[in-house]
């Protein structure tokens, strides 16, 4: 069985960012990397939410990849849209894929279209198992992304990606929908549902339906989402605070559908990680600064499942940085530490 330097689980934005960082590492021999992903299309961001316009401007994206992009490709990418425009997730990820593929020659990569089931420590390395095969790697990176949270109310549920992407929905004109969440994805959903002539109730946290970066909110709305929210606040949508449980329950009793736009959670349910003694490792316990998981010296995670955290001094709350530039910065700050374990 070949021993790889690094195993990466997932092929979304975090893993693509990692490959860019690895592509410029100076080694006598190319790094041997095995990657597991069922699709290899850029992850859920592109596959399920590609039409969403992110909060990352084209200039911010180009600045994040400039050190990894040869001149002609960078020039070609610059011509795709204006620097100040926010970027659709499909354009961002497809462009990132192009940059990564150009840099592949500096890495020895094996791609496996399989879903990882278990990972186990073994003499300072990791044995990675799927239903079809096994691999051994010195370093394991869990960059497997996330999926929408659910509050599990006993009501028919609209799928977040179907609403955001404008797919045909099972609801009919005049149906009542309770939407949980009024941040970025919630705003996009509310806008789409409103234009479908549906009765909408939106559940929000805090004192007001929307919070904005322009008002000092660290994770508030900005760019396109802020403009949409300014329109929605004067629409027919009924807004209810998440603290008003009595009113929420009444609305749920009479609604036809619910939609959960209240955040995402890591897609780690199907993966079990074990110690040498077959004890389960808590892979949700990680150092948000370094990405190190459960104090294991050669186990890391990045991206939306393991984001860098930021304590905001204004309100004393901890926020998580989940933009592409944030992923690049987080991984770049720790790549040398990760690679140092190859020498041990």
Position 236 scores a pLDDT of: 96
pLDDT in tens, 266-296: 998 889 999 999 999 999 999 999 999 999 9
The structure tokens listed for 159 are 């799928």
Question: Residues 319, 324, 326, 330: is their CA dihedral positive or negative?
Answer: positive
The structure tokens listed for 40 are 């290899």
Q: For 252, phi and psi rounded to 5 degrees?
A: -65, -35
pLDDT-based confidence at 311, cuts 50/70/90? low
User: HEC states along 88-124?
Assistant: EHHHHHHHHHHHHHHHHHHEEEEEECCCCCEEEEECC
Residue predicted with more confidence, 144 or 51:
144
Position 104 scores a pLDDT of: 73
pLDDT in tens, 235-277: 999 999 999 999 999 999 999 999 999 999 999 888 999 999 9
CATH number for the region 3-147+264-343 comes to: 3.50.50.60
Domains of the chain, residue spans: 3-147+264-343, 150-260
Coil vs helix vs strand at 247: helix
Position 318 scores a pLDDT of: 81
Q: How far is CA 20 from CA 95, 107, 211, 239, 341, in A?
A: 13, 10, 34, 43, 19
pTM for this structure?
0.93
Position 313 scores a pLDDT of: 61
| Domain pair 3-147+264-343 / 150-260, same fold | yes
Position 28 scores a pLDDT of: 75
CATH fold group of domain 150-260: FAD/NAD(P)-binding domain (3.50.50)
pLDDT in tens, 115-129: 999 999 999 999 999
Position 51 scores a pLDDT of: 86
pLDDT-based confidence at 314, cuts 50/70/90? low
Average pLDDT along the chain: 93
Position 150 scores a pLDDT of: 94
pLDDT-based confidence at 317, cuts 50/70/90? confident
Angle at 196 between CA 195 and CA 200, to 5 degrees: 85
pLDDT in tens, 44-75: 889 999 988 888 999 999 999 999 998 999 99
């Amino acid at each position: 069985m070949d021993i790889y330097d690094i195993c990466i689980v997932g092929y979304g934005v975090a893993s693509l960012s990692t490959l860019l960082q690895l592509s410029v590492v100076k080694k006598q021999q190319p790094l041997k990397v095995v990657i597991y992903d069922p699709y290899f299309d850029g992850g859920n961001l592109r596959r399920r939410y590609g039409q969403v316009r992110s909060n990352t401007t084209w200039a911010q994206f180009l600045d994040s990849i400039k050190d990894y992009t040869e001149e002609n490709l960078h020039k070609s990418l610059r011509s795709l849209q204006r620097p100040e425009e926010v970027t659709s997730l499909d354009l961002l990820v497809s462009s990132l894929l192009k940059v990564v593929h150009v840099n592949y020659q500096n890495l020895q990569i094996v791609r496996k279209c399989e879903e990882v089931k278990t990972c186990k420590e073994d003499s300072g390395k990791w044995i990675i198992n799927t239903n079809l095969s096994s691999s051994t790697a010195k370093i394991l990176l869990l960059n497997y992304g996330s999926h929408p949270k659910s509050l599990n109310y006993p009501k028919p549920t609209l799928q977040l990606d179907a609403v955001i992407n404008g797919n045909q929905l099972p609801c009919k004109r005049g149906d009542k929908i309770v939407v949980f969440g009024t941040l970025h994805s919630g705003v996009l959903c509310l806008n789409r549902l409103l234009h479908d002539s549906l009765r909408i109730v939106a559940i929000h946290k805090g004192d007001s339906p929307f919070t904005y970066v322009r008002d000092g909110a660290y994770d508030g709305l900005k760019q396109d989402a802020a403009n949409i929210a300014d329109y929605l606040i004067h629409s027919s949508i009924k807004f209810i605070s998440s603290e008003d449980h009595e009113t929420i329950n009444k609305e749920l009793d009479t609604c036809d559908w619910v939609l959960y736009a209240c955040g995402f959670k890591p897609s780690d349910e199907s993966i079990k990680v074990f110690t040498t003694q077959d004890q389960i490792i808590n892979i949700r316990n990680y150092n948000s600064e370094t990405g190190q998981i459960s104090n294991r010296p050669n186990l890391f995670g990045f991206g939306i499942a393991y984001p860098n955290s930021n304590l905001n001094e204004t309100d004393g709350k901890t926020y998580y940085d989940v933009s592409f530039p944030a992923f690049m910065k987080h991984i770049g700050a720790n790549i040398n530490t990760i690679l140092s374990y190859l020498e041990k």
